[in-house]
Structure 1
Amino acid sequence: MPENSPSVPLATTTTGPGAAVPAKVPAAGQHVPGRWRQLAVLSPTVLTDNSESSVVSTLFAAMRQTLGMSLSHLGLLQALSRVTGAVSGPLWVAAARRAGRRSVLAGTGLWMGGWLAACGLSQNFAQLLTCYLLAAVGAAAGQPLVHDLVADLFDEGSRGRAIGAMYGGVTLLGAVIGPLVAQLAEAPGGWRSGFCAVGALCVLAALLVLFLFRDPGAGASEATATAAHHTSGAFSRQTLRRLFGIRTFTLMVVQRLLSGHLLVAGFGVVFLTERGFGTATAALVAIPSGVGYLLGSVAGGLVTDRVHRADPEHGRVRTLQVLQLLYAGLAFLGTQIDWQGIGAYLLLFGAMAAVQGANPGVNRPIVMAVTPPDLRGPAFAVLISVAEALAYALFNLGAGALGDALGLRTVFLWVLVVLMAVNALFCGLLHRTYPHDVARALDSAAQDAPGA
């Protein structure tokens, strides 16, 4: 079956070299066949896209001894990789418009796996940084393209569940892999094997996409659409003007810049080592975090879909606000109080992860609801590859520099507690824009529908 051929019978036209464009999509209430199976094939890509960050954080204590690294080096490594992704992410979305989303996902996965394995051969920080940044080039493709595909596989009423299941499943798997990789830190040079193992997982995920995934076609889950909506939007000034002309999307970009919980992935294990726990013990936090994220993702997706059905105009926004406030409270308990044993930290970090895990099932469907199918690829490239990556970079760069001077506890107070409370207040602006932008998107789709 050709890569971009839909999974349901659709008439097609051609708008560019090799681009199959559906002229018709499933009617309202009709599911894309095999959507959950296709989601399962895509999910490991999300895991491997986040793996380069987690392996560095997990193995940092061993790496810093071998390569003479400090917290500033870790912050620089994490920050520059995100900046690299902010540049390359939109380029991969543009490339997928011509080469197809499946080809780009598979190719970038193979690229990332190779360069992560090369990180394990590094003899100094400069070599590690070079290989790590090259891996980050490939990692930037996954998130925007996967979310674009999820919107095409699932309709508006089931996207929360789908995203929750995807994030929950891959995080649980990561919770198993993380401690296993951390055990390598106890052996001389074991961090090198950790990079090679994660690189191999990236290659495996890429092969799954290449041989088992079938692209449903852009807009395949929409109730109404036209052929013009079935090509991925190219990155241009016009595309960006259309995107930022959607007020809800603009606010969501700023909201991601205020998402301080992104810092935990890069410095969570390091924070616990500063509390006096060994690397292997501190890395155990991945287990309750993974379980918590799984429960939060699945439960959050189910609850969000129900809240949305009960209150389509404000339900998702209120849920988003509650999650930010709840995270700030849990982060205060988990990072600002000196607990005597690792057990309390495991419990609280697991609760923080549960709240964080519920976020994608809320914020991703918000963006999907206000953007037309042809803008979703660029929208998630801007939201995740650019805004989220830059926020992650700034948080990690600042944490590395300020952590050496003030300690991670102080950094966590301002970023995980104070900033997240500000985030909750900022999300209140969505109450004014989201209902209007959803209505406008539905009106536009109805006007463009065949026979309208």
Structure 2
Amino acid sequence: MPLPLYLLAVAVFAMGTSEFMLAGLLPDIASDLDVSVGTAGMLTSAFAIGMIVGAPLVAALARNWPRRSSLLGFTLAFAAAHAVGSSTTSFPLLFATRVVAALANAGFLAVALTAAAALVAPDKKGRALAVLLSGTTVATIAGVPGGSALGALLGWRAAFWAVAALCLPTALGILKGIPAGRAREQTIGGAALRAELAQLAMPRLILVMLLGALVNAATFAGLTFLAPVVTGTAGLSELWVSVALVLFGIGSFVGATIAGRLSDRNPGAVIAVGGPLLLIGWPALAVLADEPVALLLLVFVQGALSFALGSTLITRVLYEAAGASTMAGSYATAALNVGAAVGPLIAAAALNTGAGSLGPVWSSGFLIAIALLIAFPFRAMIRADSNTEVLQ
């Protein structure tokens, strides 16, 4: 695989780290900017909102933009948003920088998927996309807890600066290794775009997008406010937040890897087994949160189950939207980030209930329950289609 591809993966790693690392930085941000932890949690929703809007919009616009200048512009905008965010004392401005960063992230991914495939031979496109998207998985294992640890030692602003710095080698790699051609060699007209958007009217696509959004909402509801559970309910020090995030990241890698072997041919089985286990796991975590060993074990398990179920559903989005070859990825991204936006909002409201810091964990279980209630009567619709190929 060519070096520029790995440098693009570094940018995906930085962007994934930025999206997830707030789970360990919220208490510090809230204290520094004199807002509540619930209000600080809105920063996660801000990023998700930017991704929801940016993914389909930029996917439609960037198809004919110059590839190299687009990637460079999105990368530098992402870095600049973090530099501004790390320097501000205003929560509204920090909120705005999260939206800008998310828009840049959405734009980068829209172009990078095409650029990655163009860097390799036609029969190696799958491997190229795997390298590119591995940045997100590595972010959950190393980048997110690393950012949390850096925030605990040097403050949340240092973590933001580190994300900005990670973008610099990517910018150099783009200049040196990415061809200056356009994101698509042939212009796609308005009729083709309308045909791709019309895919959103398909019931099966709507169903799997909704289920994917609910599962991701549950994941972000619990993950965003994990730090108060670790340091409050479990009574552990701030550095244990990083340990918990590492365990969640390792679990996510394990879950996504195992599900990847099953979700293409038998997604129904993954949902039928993983869904109920995930539903049991969130209340169990809430009940056992004051036992550190049980808490950390369940964090790992919930990370595995959440990503196994979530990745399976998002894979189904790509299958069901196979007729929208340039927009399918944006539909999957939008579904994920609708969940990422709604989950923290629900969790923040749950903080004000009698459950206190465990409210977000209980809300995660509630969201999974809704997903399973919706999925059960339509379970026959969630099946593999051997004639459909993803990312053609």
Tell me how far apart the structure 1 counterparts of residues 104 and 183 of structure 2 sit (CA, whole Å): 22
CA distance 1:191–1:274, shift in 2 (3 Å): same
Partner of 1:92: 58
In the TM superposition, 1:225-236 aligns within 5 A as none
1:109 matched to 2:109 = no
In the TM superposition, 1:418-433 aligns within 5 A as 418-428=366-376, 429=378, 431-432=380-381
Partner of 1:271: 229
Give the partner amino acid of 1:56.
L
Partner of 1:397: 345
In the TM superposition, 1:53-202 aligns within 5 A as 53-100=19-66, 103-143=69-109, 170-187=136-153, 190-202=155-167
Deviations 1:294-346 (A, max 9, x none): 222223223445xx1xxxxxx123323432222222222223323432x3322
- Flag structure 2 segments of 5+ consecutive residues without an equivalent: none
Q: CA deviation at 1:73?
A: 1.5
CA distance 1:55–1:262, shift in 2 (3 Å): closer
* Aligned residues of 1:116 and 1:196 also touching (Cα < 8 A): yes
* Aligned residues of 2:225 and 2:360 also touching (Cα < 8 A): no
* Aligned residues of 1:163 and 1:301 also touching (Cα < 8 A): no
Tell me how far apart the structure 2 counterparts of residues 150 and 364 of structure 1 sit (CA, whole Å): 20
Give the partner amino acid of 1:267.
F
More helix by share: 2
Tell me how far apart the structure 1 counterparts of residues 103 and 213 of structure 2 sit (CA, whole Å): 21
1:244 matched to 2:200 = yes
TM-score (norm 2): 0.81
CA RMSD of aligned residues (A): 3.8
Q: CA deviation at 1:68?
A: 0.7
Identity within the alignment, %: 20
1:334 matched to 2:299 = no
CA distance 1:231–1:304, shift in 2 (3 Å): farther
Partner of 2:248: 289
CA distance 1:328–1:278, shift in 2 (3 Å): same
Deviations 1:337-366 (A, max 9, x none): 23432x332221112112233346523432
Partner of 1:16: none
1:322 matched to 2:280 = no
1:412 matched to 2:361 = yes
Number of residue equivalences: 383
* Aligned residues of 1:164 and 1:357 also touching (Cα < 8 A): no
TM-score (norm 1): 0.71
The 3-state SS of whatever aligns with 1:141 is helix
Give the partner amino acid of 2:317.
V
* Aligned residues of 1:143 and 1:380 also touching (Cα < 8 A): no
Deviations 1:158-190 (A, max 9, x none): 97x988876666434543333433333345x62
CA distance 1:75–1:361, shift in 2 (3 Å): closer
- Flag structure 1 segments of 5+ consecutive residues without an equivalent: 1-33, 220-226, 309-314, 446-452
Structure 1 or 2, whichever has the larger Rg, is: 1
Tell me how far apart the structure 2 counterparts of residues 234 and 268 of structure 1 sit (CA, whole Å): 45
CA distance 1:338–1:194, shift in 2 (3 Å): closer
Deviations 1:55-98 (A, max 9, x none): 33322222222211212322322223322332222221122211
Q: CA deviation at 1:255?
A: 1.2
The 3-state SS of whatever aligns with 1:113 is helix
* Aligned residues of 2:221 and 2:346 also touching (Cα < 8 A): no
The 3-state SS of whatever aligns with 1:377 is coil
Q: CA deviation at 1:119?
A: 1.0
Out of 210, 216, 220, the residue aligned to residue 254 of structure 1 is 210
Deviations 1:384-434 (A, max 9, x none): 23x3323222221222233134424233213x2232133234334252365
* Aligned residues of 2:72 and 2:175 also touching (Cα < 8 A): yes
The 3-state SS of whatever aligns with 1:120 is helix
Tell me how far apart the structure 2 counterparts of residues 320 and 432 of structure 1 sit (CA, whole Å): 12
Q: CA deviation at 1:211?
A: 4.1
* Aligned residues of 2:55 and 2:110 also touching (Cα < 8 A): yes
CA distance 1:248–1:75, shift in 2 (3 Å): same
* Aligned residues of 2:6 and 2:131 also touching (Cα < 8 A): no
CA distance 1:357–1:257, shift in 2 (3 Å): closer
Tell me how far apart the structure 2 counterparts of residues 233 and 140 of structure 1 sit (CA, whole Å): 22
Tell me how far apart the structure 1 counterparts of residues 228 and 191 of structure 2 sit (CA, whole Å): 38
